Amino acid sequence: MRRWTALAVLAFCWVALLSSAVSLAQQDQPESKRKVINRVVPVYPEMARTMNLKGIVKVDAVVAGNGTVKSVEIRGGHPLLVQAAENAVRKWKWEPAGHETREPVEFKFDPQ
Confidence at residue 112, expressed as pLDDT on a 0 to 100 scale: 80
Q: What is the amino acid identity at position 39?
A: R
Confidence at residue 32, expressed as pLDDT on a 0 to 100 scale: 59
Is 20 or 108 the better-scoring residue by pLDDT?
108
Q: Where are the domains of the chain?
A: 1-30, 32-109
Q: Give the dihedral sign, CA 87/91/92/96.
A: positive
Distance CA 59, CA 48 (A): 19
Q: How close are the terminal C-alpha atoms of the chain, in Å? A: 53
Q: Residue 75 is inside which H or E element, if any?
A: strand 69-76
pLDDT digits (tens, 9 = 90+) for 22-62: 323 333 334 557 899 999 999 999 999 999 999 999 999 99
Across 55-59, 81-85, 102-106, 108-112, least confident range: 108-112
CATH superfamily, domain at 32-109: TonB (3.30.2420.10)
Percent of the chain with pLDDT over 90: 66
In the predicted structure, residue 79 carries a pLDDT above the cut 90: yes
